[in-house]
Amino acid sequence: MPFDSFNLNEDVPGSIAAPDTAMAYPWKHFIGGHMGRLGTRADMVLYQQYVNDIIDGVNKALATVDPTPYFAKYGNNVWAASQQYLAAVVAYASGPVIKKYLGILAAADVYTASTTFAILESVRLDLGEGSQVHPGPHTASRTGFPAEAFGDLGGPPPRAVDAQVDDLFVAMELPADILDAIEEAYRAVGGRAGRCSVFGHR
């Protein structure tokens, strides 16, 4: 069972991928906690199922929970709206997981919500799920998230997203050196120069 906030994880994708690496070795006992109990390979499989259930819940929540009411309620207080929206996403995603693992994983009712928030933020920020700009085609292999976690986000971003990016850059009137840095970062995540016209027509 992950500790609070996925133990303030700095590499969520790497942590999610780590059990696959560990399971490739022929070990019998796992020493990974503070409760004086040796883990088994079956425990590791259960842990992986638990985390995958959280990822599935996060993807469903991002596709289901509508942020509009929160932004309508809080108006110009975008931070309050964002906090309440993300709290609703966490509740939607973590609720079924807590119910499923209560009595199976100790502290499932204590730490699942904070673990869900850590994974939610990684799904949003590392994978681009729920964001306006989607990741490039090679993101799954780089991040360590299983490919199925991407849903339909693994390929090139739709043209509509490119247009939104174009509009944003034009509206911001960014200087050439900033655009160069953005283009370099865009290439690094699997983008192609010129996919967004701002790169090819400045």
Task: Indicate whether 43 pLDDT > 70.
Answer: yes
Q: Are residues 180 and 107 in the same domain?
A: no
Alpha carbon distance 193, 157 (integer Å) = 13
Task: Match 């499932």 to its residue by tokens.
Answer: 108
Q: Same structural domain for residues 135 and 193?
A: no
pLDDT band of 12, cuts 50, 70, 90:
confident
Rg of the chain in Å (alpha carbons): 20
Q: Are residues 84 and 170 in the same domain?
A: no
Confidence tier at 202 by pLDDT (50, 70, 90)? very low
pTM reported for the whole predicted model = 0.64
For residue 185, the enclosing domain spans 159-200
pLDDT at 94: 96
Average pLDDT of the residues of the chain: 75
Instruction: Note whether 12 and 73 are same-domain residues.
Output: yes
What one-character-per-residue DSSP string does 92-126 give? HHHHHHHHHHTTTSTTHHHHHHHHHHHHHHHHHHT
127 compared with 48, residue with greater pLDDT: 48
Stretch 14-28: mean pLDDT: 90
Average confidence (pLDDT) over 136-149: 45
pLDDT value at position 140? Answer: 44
Considering the domain architecture, whether residues 180 and 84 belong to the same structural domain is answered as no
- Give the CA-trace dihedral at 32, 37, 42, 46, to 10 degrees: -70
60 and 132 both lie in a single domain: yes
Q: How many CB atoms lie within 10 A of CB 25?
A: 6
